[in-house]
Structure 1
């Protein structure tokens, strides 16, 4: 089975980056995500979760920059993970199309607020920095289409758990995706706060 029914720019990028066929996780997850469901994507390291995130975001945003407010918000635990994920997006994005921005603690808040204000499509952030921006009313969440947690095991920690649950309180309508190696009882609790009627897609 090959990749199909994706934006032509995504298909082109997959070919350029030598992705010949979807992984078992991608076969199962991409149609469900494309259908608009909230999804827990569960699989071991190397099963293709990161590429699933990239494809899902680009498909949802139609590979085009629109407006000023972020339309996809992705939470990661560390600066290194944020920068790595941005690199993965850049493999798929043509110059001057979608705008990807990373927010982490080493940057100044004023700089981040200004750069986000002037327009970003995809915001990759660590929970601590995202929470600061949120509490300072520096995030326009009115256009958000996707709220994603990558390698979500970190989200089980008390400090992060509360912050992650706080953000959806200000989101009107959005699709939520959580990617992890295991669906723990604590992660499953997100279903009570924002992952309503979530589907579980898992591979070994």
Structure 2
């Protein structure tokens, strides 16, 4: 049971939310992500991908704040998705010291830079916004441990693809986890770049 091997704070939170049994996807994906490998996670909507992303991020960060620089980054398609994921993370981080920050194109980059500098453990952002932060040295990546992309199909858009290639070139060492419904050929291409030696976890309908 993957939940049994998670941090005590996470188990407590799952109990409060009355989540007792992992989905088939969570049973397969959580142990592989916990191993530290780069992972492609493919499963249909409703299989628990977002919850897996949140739980493995909290596990990686040991449920507590450390330093000021983000240790986990999650990329999403747009502001709407960013806010949804932010709310979902808050459900799990409410009684921990973890700081979750959300950024997107519509929020002025200088505001993002100054707010992130005050301290963030988990940074949720869109590719364009994240790339801008990188180019302006608006975020330190020296402590980055985990880089996840939720519903990664959107990376087939040219601007998002270019942004993710630019971002990942700046990162020295980090674990990458890509979540999508299916293995898109464009996502497979990342194996030649930042998804080296990636493992694949797939659950079909």
* Bin for the TM-score computed over the shorter chain: over 0.9
Query: How far 1:2 moved relative to its partner?
Result: 6.5
Q: CA RMSD in A?
A: 1.1
Asked if 1:16 is matched to 2:23, the reply is: no
Moved more, 87-96 or 108-117: 87-96
- 2: CA distance, partners of 1:11 / 1:146: 21
Query: How far 1:94 moved relative to its partner?
Result: 3.3
Runs of 4+ that moved beyond 6 A: none
Q: Would the aligned equivalents of 2:40 and 2:201 in 1 still touch at CA under 8 Å?
A: yes
- Paired residue total: 204
Q: Would the aligned equivalents of 1:105 and 1:129 in 2 still touch at CA under 8 Å?
A: yes
Cα distance, 1:37–1:96 mapped onto 2, change above 3 Å: closer
- 2: CA distance, partners of 1:128 / 1:94: 28
- 1: CA distance, partners of 2:100 / 2:2: 27
Q: Would the aligned equivalents of 1:69 and 1:117 in 2 still touch at CA under 8 Å?
A: yes
Q: Would the aligned equivalents of 1:2 and 1:21 in 2 still touch at CA under 8 Å?
A: no
Which ranges of structure 2 fall in alignment gaps of 5 or more residues? none
Q: Would the aligned equivalents of 2:147 and 2:176 in 1 still touch at CA under 8 Å?
A: yes
- 1: CA distance, partners of 2:162 / 2:106: 22
3-state DSSP class of the match of 1:189?
helix
Q: Would the aligned equivalents of 1:2 and 1:20 in 2 still touch at CA under 8 Å?
A: no
Q: Which residue of 2 aligns with 1:70?
A: 70
Query: How far 1:17 moved relative to its partner?
Result: 1.1
Query: How far 1:33 moved relative to its partner?
Result: 0.6
- 1: CA distance, partners of 2:167 / 2:126: 13
Q: Which residue of 2 aligns with 1:43?
A: 43
Trace 1:1-204 onto structure 2 (pairs within 5 A). 1=1, 3-95=3-95, 97-204=97-204
TM-score (norm 2): 0.97
